[in-house]
Amino acid sequence: MKNVVLASTSTLYGEKYLQYLLPVMQELFAGIEEIVFIPYARPGGISHDEYTARAAAGLAGTGITVKGLHTFADPVQAIREAKGFFTGGGNTFVLVKQLHELKLMDLLSEVVSKGTPYIGASAGSNIGGVNMQTTNDMPIVYPPSFQTMGLMPYNLNPHYQEPIPGVPHMGETRETRILEFHTQQSIPVIGLREGSWIRIKGNEIRLEGSMPAKIFEQGKTPYELAAGSDIKI
């Protein structure tokens, strides 16, 4: 049974790294002592070691330890044997390129679909969707494919926000970009605000956390979905 959390962000404004997600992770990883951390998104270009240490520090006190996927001689075996996964945020292009080049994307999807608990934040949540084509990130590397795990039949837009009133800027809004996505593809998109996460348990997909999400379906006016609602698009 799928057991997945896809969070908009790792960190809420004014809070410590992972602070608001710790209860969610303790429930997700109940009874599990060690999980595999996937550090490939490298926020700000930090090393895999540094990023894994940051994740370990964020989880200090929970009884959950982390081991970086990059430290295993055989990452395929590591994914097959992992008790749980946490994929940190950063650059989605960098993350997806690495997972495809190491032939780990489909394997991770398979293992998580069979029930190994998974939590992603930001870029780590983007890869839970059908493809990474609604990311906000800059294309700083060229991945061999934009396809991701497809743990749900939707795409995500993490850190979703509305335009800020009164700011005289002519760059596209987030909504404009997602509507442009729908000129090319029909996958529904969940605009996931900071403070929200998607909880997948088996066939149930629910919006959790403190904020409504904005739902984009091709050809429909975007609409709000209240926190706590089932997502059935």
Q: Is 122 a catalytic residue?
A: yes
CB nearer to a second copy: pick between 82 and 127: 127
Cα–Cα separations (whole angstroms), residue 36 to 22, 70, 103? 16, 10, 17
Minimum distance between the CB of residue 181 and a second copy, rounded to whole angstroms?
5
CB nearer to a second copy: pick between 3 and 122: 122
Catalytic residue among 10, 109, 122, 125: 122
CB nearer to a second copy: pick between 183 and 203: 183
Q: List residues binding a second copy (CB under 8 A).
A: 9, 11-14, 42-45, 91, 93-94, 132-142, 145-146, 158-159, 161, 164, 167-172, 176-185, 194
Minimum distance between the CB of residue 222 and a second copy, rounded to whole angstroms?
14
Minimum distance between the CB of residue 208 and a second copy, rounded to whole angstroms?
18
CB nearer to a second copy: pick between 33 and 49: 49
Catalytic residue among 48, 100, 113, 159: 159
**Which positions ≥6 away from 133 have C-beta within 8 Å?**
146, 155, 181, 185
Minimum distance between the CB of residue 9 and a second copy, rounded to whole angstroms?
5
Burial (CB < 10 A; 0-12, 13-18, 19+), residue 158, is buried
Q: Is 10 a catalytic residue?
A: no
Q: Is 49 a catalytic residue?
A: no
Minimum distance between the CB of residue 212 and a second copy, rounded to whole angstroms?
16
CB nearer to a second copy: pick between 112 and 194: 194
Look up residue 147 and give its DSSP letter.
B
- C-alpha span between 111 and 80 (Å, rounded): 7
Pairing state of beta strands 85-87 and 196-201?
A: unpaired
Catalytic residues: 122, 137, 159
